[in-house]
């Protein structure tokens, strides 16, 4: 068993992301080392708790830690005021205090919600991420963005609150539904597209084998985490470079809002379509060659991910409504639409000089 460590260096808020197989069995030991006298409380969702809570509990209990758990409904709708209130009140009832630890066992939904609950409980308690989806291991568990959705838009309520430790056990991904695995892969591909053409080339060669090969999967997770850790270290609160991680997200969030944040379109699928649209728009605006979007679409297709709006089942609002939803995304600055576009694969940049007519043409083209 090889456990790799990626450091997220943020001065007093620094922490380690441990990545490897069988890590959950070590959770008690690792968490004890972090906070020898702390009490812990676990937040998870129904699906994950049924599969992986017993192993986490056994590991915590072996280290002498009682592990009460709050099990919330699975799915994006859990990132709500109601469930946040439930989580915070439960943590207070468990007498989790300033020196104690909240443990998030789940995907991005649980990580975002439990992290936000930890951020606001007693003005901030520490929390540990035990990410159980590919998306959460490569992206949401690292970097300290926590929060919930507003009825008016996604992730509009939240806080920066860095975890104290991230334990990414590759073996937990084996129980993911194929569609959830593929959706998480959308975020893996994003790293290559935004800043590392060699990694994208590696993914073109190895992407289809990742699910069956834990060694390759661990490499992909470690590489993605290392990229995110570097970006977060340089720009923790998204004043500049961190915005590149939003490649595909302004399009994606609009499509998620248009489809009601549900099973119709998963977050990672929306990001995949968003990345394809960002590259299409980049070509139309004369920023990159046609080869780039062709490679993006071909790879997403091969991985079983959608890359066109036409792939979304059911009716969608018209282009003007989609653009209005894009403009509601929190990446908007001074009312101007800011997008991540690209000069080529691995060469993304942020711009607010977006040509509206070309944007409409790209949306229309992706529907047909
Ligand atoms: P999710 O947490 O809803 O998990 C997807 C589904 O997989 C759920 O039904 C869950 O119960 C199930 N599941 C989780 N782990 C499992 C496992 N090991 N085996 C079987 N089933 C399992 O969704 P997600 O895709 O992990 O995360 C999406 C969320 O992450 C979105 O809300 C998005 O906004 C957020 N996000 C946050 C950041 C950030 O920086 N904080 C970054 C990217 C995405």
Residues 259, 265, 267, 270, CA torsion sign:
negative
Q: How far apart are CA 349 and CA 359, in angstroms?
A: 17
Give the C-alpha distances (Å, rounded to integers) separating 183 from 104, 107, 186, 270, 271: 20, 12, 5, 8, 8
Q: Return the pLDDT at 125.
A: 98
Q: Decide: 284 in ligand 1 pocket, CB within 6 A.
A: no
- Joined tokens for residue 159: 């806080």
For residue 368, the CA-to-ligand 1 centroid distance in Å is 30
For residue 18, the CA-to-ligand 1 centroid distance in Å is 19
Instruction: Check if 253 is active-site.
Output: yes
Q: Decide: 148 in ligand 1 pocket, CB within 6 A.
A: no
Q: How far apart are CA 111 and CA 291, in angstroms?
A: 37
Q: Return the pLDDT at 153.
A: 78
Instruction: Check if 187 is active-site.
Output: yes
- Joined tokens for residue 14: 């620094």
Instruction: Check if 52 is active-site.
Output: no
Q: Return the pLDDT at 330.
A: 57
Q: Return the pLDDT at 333.
A: 57
Q: Return the pLDDT at 334.
A: 60
Q: Which atom of ligand 1 is nearest to the CA of 173?
A: 18
Q: Return the pLDDT at 332.
A: 58
- 21, 76, 79, 187: the catalytic one is 187
Pocket test for ligand 1, best of 44, 46, 48 (most atoms within 8 A of CB): 48
Nearest to 248 by CA among 290, 315, 191: 191
Q: Return the pLDDT at 327.
A: 87
Q: Which atom of ligand 1 is nearest to the CA of 155?
A: 34
Place of tokens 């282009």: 319
Q: How far apart are CA 132 and CA 173, in angstroms?
A: 6
What count of other Cβ atoms lies within 10 Å of the Cβ of residue 226? 18
Q: How far apart are CA 346 and CA 29, in angstroms?
A: 39
Nearest to 328 by CA among 320, 319, 337: 337
SS3 content of the chain, % helix, strand, coil (to 5): 55, 15, 30
- What are the tens digits of pLDDT across the range 237-267? 999 999 999 999 999 999 998 998 889 999 9
Nearest to 123 by CA among 153, 159, 69: 159
Give me the residues paired with residue 150 across strands.
153
Task: Going residue by residue through the chain, which has 368 residues, state the pLDDT in tens, using 9 for 90 and above.
Answer: 699 999 999 999 999 999 999 999 999 999 999 999 999 999 999 999 999 999 999 999 999 999 999 999 999 899 999 999 999 999 999 999 999 999 999 999 999 999 999 999 999 999 999 999 999 999 999 999 999 998 877 888 999 999 999 999 999 999 999 999 999 999 999 999 999 999 999 999 999 999 999 999 999 999 999 999 999 999 999 999 999 999 999 999 999 989 988 899 999 999 999 999 999 999 999 999 999 999 999 999 999 999 999 999 999 999 999 999 998 765 555 667 899 999 999 999 999 999 999 999 999 999 98
Instruction: Determine if residue 136 is left, alpha or beta; phi over 0 gives left, psi from -120 to 50 gives alpha, anything else beta.
Output: alpha
Instruction: Check if 280 is active-site.
Output: no
Q: Is the pTM for the entire model greater than 0.85?
A: yes
Instruction: Check if 145 is active-site.
Output: yes
Pocket test for ligand 1, best of 104, 133, 330 (most atoms within 8 A of CB): 133
Q: Return the pLDDT at 154.
A: 83
What count of other Cβ atoms lies within 10 Å of the Cβ of residue 292? 23
Instruction: Check if 246 is active-site.
Output: yes
For residue 261, the CA-to-ligand 1 centroid distance in Å is 12
For residue 119, the CA-to-ligand 1 centroid distance in Å is 19
Residue 176 DSSP one-character state: S
Q: Which atom of ligand 1 is nearest to the CA of 79?
A: 32
């Amino acid at each position: 068993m090889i456990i790799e460590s990626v450091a997220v260096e943020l001065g007093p808020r620094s922490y380690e992301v441990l990545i490897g197989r069988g890590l959950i069995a070590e959770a008690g030991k690792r968490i004890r080392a972090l906070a020898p006298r702390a009490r812990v409380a676990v937040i998870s969702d129904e699906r994950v708790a049924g599969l992986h809570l017993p192993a986490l509990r056994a590991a915590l209990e072996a280290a002498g830690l009682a592990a009460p758990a709050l099990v919330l409904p699975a799915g994006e709708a859990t990132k709500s005021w109601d469930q946040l209130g439930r989580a915070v009140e439960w943590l207070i009832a468990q007498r989790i205090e300033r020196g104690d630890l909240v443990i998030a066992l789940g995907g991005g939904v649980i990580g975002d919600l439990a992290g936000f609950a930890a951020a606001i409980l007693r003005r901030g308690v520490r929390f540990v991420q035990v990410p159980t989806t590919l998306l959460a291991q490569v992206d949401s568990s690292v970097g300290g963005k926590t929060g919930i959705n507003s009825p008016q838009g996604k992730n509009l309520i939240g806080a920066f609150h860095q975890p104290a430790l991230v334990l990414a056990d590759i073996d937990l991904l084996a129980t993911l539904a194929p569609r959830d695995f593929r959706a998480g892969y959308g975020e893996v591909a994003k790293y290559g597209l935004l800043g590392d053409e060699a990694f994208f080339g590696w993914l073109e060669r190895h992407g289809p084998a990742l699910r069956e090969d834990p060694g390759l999967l661990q490499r992909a997770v470690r590489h993605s985490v290392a990229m995110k850790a570097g970006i977060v270290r340089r720009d923790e609160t998204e004043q500049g470079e961190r915005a590149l991680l939003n490649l595909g997200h302004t399009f994606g969030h609009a499509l998620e809002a248009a489809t009601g944040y549900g099973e119709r379109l998963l977050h990672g699928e929306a990001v995949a379509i968003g990345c394809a649209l960002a590259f299409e728009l980049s070509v139309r605006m004369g920023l990159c060659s046609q080869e780039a979007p062709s490679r993006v679409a071909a790879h997403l297709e091969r991985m079983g991910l959608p890359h066109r709006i036409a792939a979304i089942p059911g009716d969608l609002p018209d282009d003007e409504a989609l653009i209005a939803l894009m403009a509601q995304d929190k990446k908007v600055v001074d009312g101007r639409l800011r997008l991540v576009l690209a000069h080529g694969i691995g060469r993304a940049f942020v711009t607010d000089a977006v040509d509206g007519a070309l944007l409409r043409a790209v949306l229309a083209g992706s529907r047909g």
